[in-house]
Amino acid sequence: MNIFFDLDGTLVDSRLRMYSLFQSLVSESKMSFDAYWRLKKENYKHRDILQKMFSYSEQESMAFEGEWLKSIELPSWLALDRPVEGVTEYLKRASEKSNLYIVTARQSEKNALSQISSFGWLELFDKIMVTNLVKQKHEMIKYVVKIEKTDWFIGDTGADIESGKKLGVKTAGVLSGFMSKEGLLTYKPDLIVNSVVDLKIT
Ligand SMILES: [Mg+2]
């Protein structure tokens, strides 16, 4: 069986990195970590937060977005990421029975690989696929792996569930990342779990 995992919010807790970069780019923000993530989980985009709470113009919001993309995968920010609790043990067990893949929409393959290696995960995966924001996840997978309908796609966003459905595999949404249960349910995944460690699919 093949299992395709999204990276951020699914295997890696990137919330501190994202919150900290937001605070660094929006110097007037006094928002707490919890307040920021409450808004994000309610599906507020940065643009909405900046314009409603900080009176940013459209142009200032776009400038923020440019700075965000330039900075979010720098090693100094990536250093704030942590593996989701218990995930390394889970992956070791799962890799004994299944072929595991990471499919991520990161922009920097080099920095993604170096982070995955620093967590000791490289040898647990058959392949790491990085879309560089130019390819779609399901298209990358299709070219590389022979899919069975009993395979799984695991992710924390609606886009991940849609990728799995486009591939015709089973889908699981995790609540360790960027979306609420109510938000994920609208994409109709086969399963919703708190974290990948709660998956009982292998
Ligand atoms: Mg994700």
Compute the distance from residue 153 Cα to the ligand 1 centre, in Å. Answer: 12
pLDDT tens-digit map of 7-47: 999 999 999 999 999 999 999 999 999 999 999 999 899 99
Binning pLDDT at 50, 70 and 90, where does residue 201 land?
Answer: confident
**pLDDT of 200 strictly over 90:** no
Cβ 200 vs Cβ 2: under 8 Å: no
Compute the distance from residue 176 Cα to the ligand 1 centre, in Å. Answer: 9
State which of 61, 78, 95 marks the end of a domain: 78
Assign 135 to helix, strand or coil. Answer: coil
Q: Are residues 138 and 149 in the same domain?
A: yes
Compute the distance from residue 159 Cα to the ligand 1 centre, in Å. Answer: 9
pLDDT tens-digit map of 152-194: 999 999 999 999 999 999 999 999 999 999 999 999 999 999 9
Compute the distance from residue 146 Cα to the ligand 1 centre, in Å. Answer: 23
Compute the distance from residue 160 Cα to the ligand 1 centre, in Å. Answer: 8
Q: Residue 133: its pLDDT value, please?
A: 82
Compute the distance from residue 124 Cα to the ligand 1 centre, in Å. Answer: 19
Q: Are residues 30 and 94 in the same domain?
A: no
What is the spatial distance between Cα 152 and Cα 37, in angstroms, rounded to a whole number?
27
Compute the distance from residue 14 Cα to the ligand 1 centre, in Å. Answer: 9
Compute the distance from residue 8 Cα to the ligand 1 centre, in Å. Answer: 4
Q: Are residues 90 and 58 in the same domain?
A: no
DSSP-assigned states of every residue in 164-183: HHHHT-EEEEESSSS--HHH
Where do we find the tokens 């595991």? 100
- The residue range of the domain holding 115 is 2-14+82-198
What is the spatial distance between Cα 85 and Cα 87, in angstroms, rounded to a whole number?
6
Compute the distance from residue 63 Cα to the ligand 1 centre, in Å. Answer: 23
Compute the distance from residue 114 Cα to the ligand 1 centre, in Å. Answer: 18
Q: Are residues 39 and 126 in the same domain?
A: no
> Which residues contact residue 118 at a Cβ distance below 8 angstroms, ignoring those fewer than 6 apart?
none
What is the spatial distance between Cα 33 and Cα 87, in angstroms, rounded to a whole number?
23
Q: What total of structural domains would you count in the chain?
A: 2
Q: Residue 136: its pLDDT value, please?
A: 94
**pLDDT of 202 strictly over 80:** no
Q: Are residues 44 and 10 in the same domain?
A: no
Calculate the dihedral angle through the C-alpha atoms of 39, 41, 42, 47, rounding to the nearest 10 degrees: 50
Compute the distance from residue 91 Cα to the ligand 1 centre, in Å. Answer: 17
Assign 2 to helix, strand or coil. Answer: strand
pLDDT tens-digit map of 58-110: 999 999 999 999 999 999 999 999 999 999 999 999 999 999 999 999 999 99
Q: Are residues 8 and 107 in the same domain?
A: yes
Q: Residue 16: its pLDDT value, please?
A: 97
Compute the distance from residue 134 Cα to the ligand 1 centre, in Å. Answer: 16
Compute the distance from residue 173 Cα to the ligand 1 centre, in Å. Answer: 10
Strand 12-13 and strand 2-5: pairing?
Answer: unpaired
Q: Are residues 190 and 115 in the same domain?
A: yes
